[in-house]
Amino acid sequence: MAKTLSFTCTSCGAGYGKWSGRCDACGAWNTIAEEKPLAAPSSGRSLGMKRGAKVPLMDLATPEDPPERTRSRVDELDRVLGGGLVPASATLVGGDPGIGKSTLLLQAAAAFARRGLDVIYISGEEATAQVRMRAQRLGLADANVKLASDTNLRDILTTVEAENPALVVIDSIQTMWLDTVDSAPGSVAQVRAAAHELVSFAKRKGISVVLVGHVTKEGQIAGPRVVEHMVDTVLYFEGERGHQFRILRAVKNRFGPADEIGVFEMTGAGLAQVGNPSALFLSDRGEPVPGAAVFAGIEGTRPVLCEMQALVAPSPLGQPRRSVVGWDSGRLGMVLAVLEARCGIPFTGLDVYLNVAGGLRVSEPAADLAVAAALLSAREDTALPPHTVVFGEISLSSALRPVAQTENRLKEARKLGFSNAILPAGSKTGVSADMAVKELADLTAFVGDVFGAG
């Protein structure tokens, strides 16, 4: 009997019996690829549970006995991990090519090794001599990290089981291959099967595993999204090549807060952690200029201040341009529509450019008011009052809605020398004598109070 072939969407992992141009599950086009089933049945190994066995919840570890974490003493990395490395955890790290993933993980492996952990760094893309050369350049030659270069997952698991380390780094999951899967390395079937074997091995042996994943041109980790569901933590290493800093962002974390960030600076000696990212993002800020507004945002559990920059210029085109870097372009269109419909301030015939300074990506709705302030400042060619931070969400009725963690935002702003704040009415600001807080009810009041019009 001929082997049956299945088809899998490389974006969401949905399975189909035949090829189709469009995935019905996620709506992506040209993402369904042919996949062969496993050539050999599974070994039947489990995580130690017998068929039909049940464990009472009260017999499990109590909240007072959480899994013991190991801190690397690299505060930015420990923050993103949720307080340190959890035993028997699986972590997936993704990022653009050349952004510094291997450098970050080599430094992390050395940091954990210096804390007494037995660490193995396995590279499927570089020889051990090349990894050692990079370690010497980073000043990590004295770290007790074992290096290996292999892509055969069966040999890797055999070696790791014999060594029994506390942490294993796999660089990268796209280069690993299983001889039981009749497919090329890097394919959907190989990536999914290799990730499943590594995660199961980590849970069964109590070994922490860190996987490196390549990123597609859409900015997502290559392979089916089901790989992200397999692991405990998914981290993205972000940054612009024109800037010296990198951001490690947690988009999924079963052991800590999601959307937490750690900020690093790329230097000649590797990645150096940045303890105060707000000062870094505002380091090039001088005197107030038109089109600039300082936004007090929240990334995970930490407040981060950044500058929203806008440029409004007459358009020579029939359809004006709307260019956005670091923010949602759809939300920019909404803010422009509210300004025109509710405040009577048109942007017809004007090109609008919006940029988050420093390459930071902002996703929270609290940036609406800062974006509107930057747009109005650029359009009216009038700078905002000095030492002022702005934040708040704008509704379609032009009302300003309070946002979460207002006190933490203001506290961070005061620490950096800001003395004025503009925010929605009804916000829980707390008592502060050294900061002038102006609370406004809607966008029309903001326009009239700050720019004297509207």
Are 5 and 17 within 8 A, CB to CB?
no
Give the angle subtended at the CA of 432 by the CAs of 429 and 433, to the nearest 5°.
145
Amino acid at 45: R
Q: Does the annotation flag 95 for ligand binding?
A: yes
| Separation between Cα atoms, residue 400 and residue 321, nearest integer Å | 27
DSSP H helical segments within 327-436, as ranges? 329-343, 368-380, 406-415
Q: Which of 264, 232, 233 lies closest to 248, judged by CA?
A: 264
Report the alpha-carbon distance of residue 76 to residue 209 in Å, rounded.
19
155 phi-psi bin (left φ>0, alpha ψ -120 to 50, beta other): alpha
Residue of 423, 398, 416 whose CA lies nearest to 340: 398
d(CA 56, CA 65): 17
Could you tell me the CA-to-CA distances from 69 to 7, 65, 73, 231, 255 in Å, in that order? 40, 11, 12, 17, 10
91 residue type, one letter: T
| Residue 99, annotated as binding a ligand | yes
Do β-strands 388-390 and 420-424 pair in parallel, antiparallel, or remain unpaired?
Answer: parallel
Q: What are the structure tokens assigned to 254, written together?
A: 């079963």
Please compute, for residue 405, the number of CA atoms within 13 A of its CA located in the half-sphere on the CB side.
16
* Amino acid code (one letter) for 212: V
Was 300 annotated as part of a binding site? no
Q: If you search the block for the tokens 């035949």, which residue do you land on?
A: 18
Residue 100 counted as an annotated binding residue = yes
Q: Measured over all CA atoms, what is the biggest interatomic distance in the chain, rounded to whole angstroms?
A: 81
Task: Report whether 179 belongs to an annotated binding site.
Answer: no
Q: Which helix (H) or strand (E) holds 310?
A: strand 302-314
Annotated binding-site residue? 84: no
Residues 160 and 201: beta-carbon distance below 8 Å:
yes
- List the beta bridge partners of residue 93: 212, 235
DSSP state of 177: B
Hey, what are 445's tokens?
Answer: 């009041």
Sequence ranges of the binding site: 95-102
Sequence ranges of the binding site for ATP: 95-102
